[in-house]
Amino acid sequence: MIEERDVVIVGGGIAGMTAARELRDRDPLILEASDRVGGRIWSKQRGDLALSVGAHMFPPPDSIVGRQVDEFGLEVLPITGSMLNIAMNDRIVVGTRPETFPFKLALSLRGRVSFARAGLKVRKAVAEHEAAVAHRPGDTDATIRLRSMEAGGDVSFGDYLGSLNPEAQRIFQALCNRSSGDLDSITQASMATLFAHVWDSGDLGRNMRGGSGLLPEALGRDLAAHIRLHTTVTRVSLTGTGVDIEYTGPDGAGTVRARTAILALPAPFIPALLGTALPGETAAALDRVTIGPTTVLSVLTDETDPMPWDDIYSLLTPDCRFNMFFNHSNALHATGAPKQGSLLMVYGGGGRARALAGMSEAEMERAFLDDLYRLYPQTRGHIAETWLMPWQYAVPHATPGRWRVQETLERGIADRVFLAGDWVGEFGAMETAASTGVDAAASVTRVLDAGAGS
């Protein structure tokens, strides 16, 4: 027996669930292959702290995600720790302005000059980015996404910076790895977006008390009647007037015949689902989407004494096998609550993640812990719990020319299948994923309303 629906959503991450909430009056159905919703927003609560292996920085209250947080009565705490810090050549430089790094880091003279010159180029790229995304009359989220990707979207960040001293190159390579890219693959536009967000941390400077995973858990409870877990979609077929979605689930195989569908899963999975039904233009557009790997290690420590990382939130680590260090306990530490350990996260993206290929998970964890002990020897003997997650598809980043297929991705397929996820946008973040979910839901509503009136 074939089940009939107005809309089926494939994927229960933040994009899919946001779309479902927008379409609640259409009785949407979310099909999720795993045993949980939330995608790459995943944490395990440990009191007020939480081990986390995914997205962790929340946008402001007037955002889509911010309104969800408020609606569910969840608490986000401002991050008060320093966010612009670098550990390199056995020196940790914290609490300084970006333009002073060339003078405070332990660099050679040529390294300082090269880093400073590249920094001036980055400032110029960020200014161009901010001009591109400035709101204009009639703008939609989609038009702003396109402009953001186009300004500097035809050149790699490495080519934009030009020849670099090896020390400066190590720093900028680590920064590119933050977005799961590399100097020769990620665009100037993508890195300008990253720098703009990091330098203006007011729109991202919040952590959730109890862990970021509390948000998808709340969304999952809210949408429970619309979600089927352990349900793997095997084929999506275009019919004369709609979409057939074939799946296997706990009760076996089945088919849902829907008027519309939203594919809210990583782009690399979509061509196999549609097969020959995938239009060539869309196939070419999906082929331009790059979602880089990231290996994450979350670490719970058990110290009660002050530690040198207490007032730090994030630290760039060019000399480690991970490129970023985060202190997720910083926001709670700033409240003055008694200290009961720390929650640290380290991760290696892009080339760093690929360099770990072939290692067992135990070997990956050991490699990261060895570097963590060198970075902060105080962690030795205080590791209470760890959680390793090697994400194959972690953070999207634009490669040169990627912006040219943006309108194809925004349009969807045959005016009945629409795409959602942070990879549809210009920046790997919760809000990007949520906004594409809202846009896909609006497209579905338009199609369904048009059909009802015909």
330-363 pLDDT, tens digit each:
888 878 888 889 999 999 999 999 999 999 999 9
- CA nearest 246: which of 259, 261, 257? 257
Q: Residue 433: helix, strand or coil by DSSP?
A: helix
Q: Does residue 176 sit in the same domain as residue 126? A: yes
Q: Residue 212: helix, strand or coil by DSSP?
A: coil
- CA nearest 130: which of 203, 208, 238, 226? 203
Write the DSSP symbol of residue 247: E
At residue 289, what is the residue type?
V
- Taking the C-alpha atoms of residue 119 and residue 72, their distance in angstroms, rounded to an integer, is 41
Choosing from 352, 379, 397, the residue where a domain stops is 397
Choosing from 358, 376, 397, the residue where a domain stops is 397
What radius of gyration do the chain's Cα atoms show?
22
Q: How confident is the model at residue 333, as a pLDDT?
A: 80
Q: Which domain holds residue 323?
A: 78-208+291-397
Q: How confident is the model at residue 340, as a pLDDT?
A: 84
Choosing from 362, 379, 397, the residue where a domain stops is 397
- Each residue's pLDDT expressed in tens, for the chain with a length of 454 residues: 789 999 999 999 999 999 999 999 999 999 999 999 999 999 999 988 899 999 999 999 999 999 999 999 999 998 888 888 999 999 999 988 888 999 999 999 999 999 999 999 999 999 998 998 899 999 988 888 889 899 899 999 999 999 999 999 999 999 999 999 999 999 999 999 888 877 655 445 789 999 999 999 999 999 999 999 999 999 999 998 899 999 999 999 999 999 999 999 999 999 999 999 999 999 999 999 999 999 999 999 999 999 999 999 999 999 999 999 999 998 888 788 888 899 999 999 999 999 999 999 999 999 999 999 999 999 999 999 999 999 999 999 999 999 999 999 999 999 999 999 999 987 788 999 999 999 999 999 999 999 876 5
Residue with tokens 């097969």: 275
Q: Does residue 84 sit in the same domain as residue 197? A: yes
- CA nearest 215: which of 420, 432, 441, 45? 45
> Beta strand pairing status for 49-52 and 86-88?
unpaired
Residue 50 lies in a domain: no
Q: Does residue 407 sit in the same domain as residue 390? A: no
- Taking the C-alpha atoms of residue 158 and residue 176, their distance in angstroms, rounded to an integer, is 10
CA pseudo-torsion sign 346, 267, 219, 31: negative
Q: Does residue 427 sit in the same domain as residue 302? A: no
Tell me, what CATH number does 366's domain have?
3.90.660.50
Cβ-in-10-Å burial (0-12, 13-18, 19+) of 246 comes to middle
Q: Does residue 83 sit in the same domain as residue 184? A: yes
Q: Does residue 241 sit in the same domain as residue 280? A: yes
Question: H or E stretch including 387?
Answer: strand 383-397
The tokens describing 433, both together, are 């994923």
Q: How many domains does the chain have?
A: 2
Residue 219 lies in a domain: yes
Answer yes or no: are the C-beta atoms of 327 and 85 closer than 8 Å: no
Tally Cβ neighbours within 10 Å of residue 374: 15
Question: φ and ψ at 418, to 5 degrees?
Answer: -120, 155
- Taking the C-alpha atoms of residue 43 and residue 48, their distance in angstroms, rounded to an integer, is 12
Q: What is the pTM of this model?
A: 0.95
Q: How confident is the model at residue 280, as a pLDDT?
A: 97
Q: How confident is the model at residue 140, as a pLDDT?
A: 87
- Taking the C-alpha atoms of residue 30 and residue 73, their distance in angstroms, rounded to an integer, is 24
253-310 pLDDT, tens digit each:
999 999 999 999 999 999 999 999 999 999 999 999 999 999 999 999 999 999 999 9
